[in-house]
A and B are shown apart, each in its own frame.
Chain A
Amino acid sequence: GAVVSQHPSRVICKSGTSVKIECRSLDFQATTMFWYRQFPKQSLMLMATSNEGSKATYEQGVEKDKFLINHASLTLSTLTVTSAHPEDSSFYICSARDSARGPRNQPQHFGDGTRLSIL
């Protein structure tokens, strides 16, 4: 089945560091990828929609200069948390749509998530 690879799975770093998270679709092409954030015991919160070859669409309240998204190819999107602070600590999950399917029937495939801890 379709696989989305996300790494790193865990990051622990000091405040002020920038952290890059990669999301790759391994056996399909994805014109659209989604980045989510999940706090403990809560549901997923969509941060942004990443579109190959164009700018990402950010949800209300998400700082685009803080969370930089690049979707330079049909199989890779990256999320960079710039100058991370302890409040950015969270579980970040990406998902990707299979572009080969029609828009009305595209499932989302999820990466394994990245647990980010900022000290």
Chain B
Amino acid sequence: ELKVEQNPLFLSMQEGKNYTIYCNYSTTSDRLYWYRQDPGKSLESLFVLLSNGAVKQEGRLMASLDTKARLSTLHITAAVHDLSATYFCAESNYQLIWGAGTKLIIKP
């Protein structure tokens, strides 16, 4: 069964702290996506990771992909309140197989 597992599902943290969201997937796909969703809104693409060892950074967010471990991580550095949202990872096998999402709350 194709499966994507994200953890944690809920994360509350203080501004200025670092944390990592983990995404494990079950297939041999080498394409992994990270999306952000604000309440009541659609999805915003953050990163597309296309190969083993890929690392991408945008501002305080950095995503990486280890295809051998079937693991992707989204690392948040020195979190700020504006990063509060739900983050989804999805792996691609023609269709997107979605993780359950991580609701991130960053307190001032």
Q: Distance (Å) between the CB of A61 and the closest chain B CB? A: 15
Contacts of A111 in B (CB 8 A): 42
Contact call A115/B40, Cβ cutoff below 8 A: yes
Known: A43-B100, A44-B88. A34 touches B43 (CB 8 A): no
Known: A34-B95, A112-B41, A113-B42. A107 touches B48 (CB 8 A): yes
A103 to B35, CA, bound (A): 20
Interface residues of A in 62-119 (CB under 8 A from B): 93, 103-105, 107-113, 115
Instruction: How many A-B residue pairs have C-beta atoms within 8 angstroms? Tell me.
Output: 40
Contact call B43/A110, Cβ cutoff below 8 A: yes
A115 to B50, CA, bound (A): 32
- For B7-47 the 0/1 string (1 means CB < 8 A from A) is 00000000000000000000000010101000011111100
Contacts of B103 in A (CB 8 A): 41
Interface residues of B in 73-104 (CB under 8 A from A): 88, 94-96, 98-101, 103
Contact call A44/B45, Cβ cutoff below 8 A: no
- For A12-40 the 0/1 string (1 means CB < 8 A from B) is 00000000000000000000001000000
Interface size of A as a range: 20 to 34
Contacts of A56 in B (CB 8 A): none
Contacts of A6 in B (CB 8 A): 42
Contact call B96/A108, Cβ cutoff below 8 A: yes
Contacts of A49 in B (CB 8 A): 95
Contacts of A110 in B (CB 8 A): 35, 42-45
A19 to B103, CA, bound (A): 31
Contacts of A105 in B (CB 8 A): 50
Q: Which residue of B lies closest to A1 (CB)?
A: B45
Q: Distance (Å) between the CB of A21 and the closest chain B CB? A: 13
> Can you name 23 A-B residue pairings with CB atoms under 8 Å?
A34-B95, A41-B103, A42-B100, A42-B101, A43-B98, A43-B99, A43-B100, A44-B43, A44-B96, A44-B98, A46-B95, A46-B96, A93-B42, A104-B31, A105-B50, A107-B33, A107-B45, A108-B33, A108-B96, A110-B43, A110-B45, A112-B41, A112-B42
